[in-house]
Amino acid sequence: MNALCGGGWPDQMISAALTDKLSKWLDHQRALAGAAENTVKAYQTDVLGFLGFMTTHNGEAQGLGPIARVTVRDMRAWMAHERGRGVGARSLARSLSAVKSFYRWLSEREGFEPTAVLSTRAPKFQRKLPRPLEVQAASDMIDRVELQSSEPWIAARDTAVVTLLYGCGLRISEALALTGADIPLPEVLRIVGKGGKERIVPVIAPARDAVAAYVKLCPYPCTNHEPIFRAVRGGVLSPRVIQKVMEQSRMQLGLPATATPHAMRHSFATHLLAAGGDLRTIQELLGHASLSTTQAYTAVDAAHLMSVYARAHPKA
């Protein structure tokens, strides 16, 4: 049995044939679905946890035969077990999604009926929405960040990063992944986001100016294969540095603890929408796979959604 059966699970938990299928599915997620390695590891943990329960529940190791015979009652027993050991609704929904994805892939290759698994409903949970800053607060945050360091190039660096988050709606990981090949910043950036998904992002003049000012002051060379944003000693800048600078700034401004780097991206989307931006366009700018994610992300109320619909739909 290979390393898939690590993590405290008994070696006899799943058959060699099922182990091989699980490995191939995980490879499929990496290669074709574009899942990040941390996501793949989470999928592996979720599916192995499910198979571990089924082994105990049914009193037999899980192979291609037993896994094809899982019933609705088995699924309910697994979910009840997970909730009973304190797994939250959000985490259980994620685990169920991984199990369904594996079953869908496996059933197509093994020719069994996966309805019992695929029809299982995820538990409901309240989606936590990031809170946007007011327009003036977002502007104040950018100005205040610059005052947190007496070293001009560091002050310019932090200002440039936060300006990119708010001005372009970038994730902090995306901003810090920019390299010298992106300098000078063009009017449009090609960003590779989560899962290797590529999107086009317009770069407003203040963001281009902020990055140019930083590059001019930075004591480290800005080569094509090196990150633009450097730590004090020249290494890769950690997201935690920007988080800390924003913590200091928001306390000085009297802003809530929710004024984080991610809140700047959220503010970008919310302010665009409030100004009349189209949801589908904002979805593309943020790099969301589905429109429903954008709706939740921007905390759109039903009345505003209907007004956007009424203005945009040709038959409205």
Q: Catalytic site residue 216?
A: no
Catalytic residue among 131, 194, 199, 304: 194
The long-range contacts involving 277-285, CB below 8 angstroms and separated by at least 24 positions, are 278/308, 278/312, 279/305, 279/308, 284/199, 284/200, 285/169, 285/199, 285/201, 285/202
Q: Which residues pair with 198 in a beta bridge?
A: 192
Question: Which among 43, 103, 166, 297 is annotated as catalytic?
Answer: 297
Alpha-carbon gap, residue 260 to 230, rounded angstroms: 20
Long-range contacts of 75-83 (CB under 8 A, 24+ apart): 75/116, 75/117, 75/120, 76/120, 77/53, 78/50, 78/53, 78/54, 79/120, 79/123, 81/53, 81/57, 82/53, 83/123
Instruction: Please name which of 286, 262, 284 lies closest in space to residue 132, comparing C-alpha atoms.
Output: 262
Q: Which two tokens stand for residue 92?
A: 């259980």
Active site residue: 21, 171, 266, 271, which one?
Answer: 171
Catalytic, out of 21, 230, 265, 271: 265
Is 171 catalytic? The answer is yes
- Say which of 90, 199, 262, 304 is annotated catalytic: 262
Annotated catalytic residue: which of 157, 208, 271, 288?
288
Contact predicate 66/116, CB 8 Å: no
> Where do the H-state alpha helices sit in 146-222?
152-168, 172-176, 205-217
Is 297 noted as a catalytic residue in this protein? yes
Residues carrying an active site annotation = 171, 194, 262, 265, 288, 297
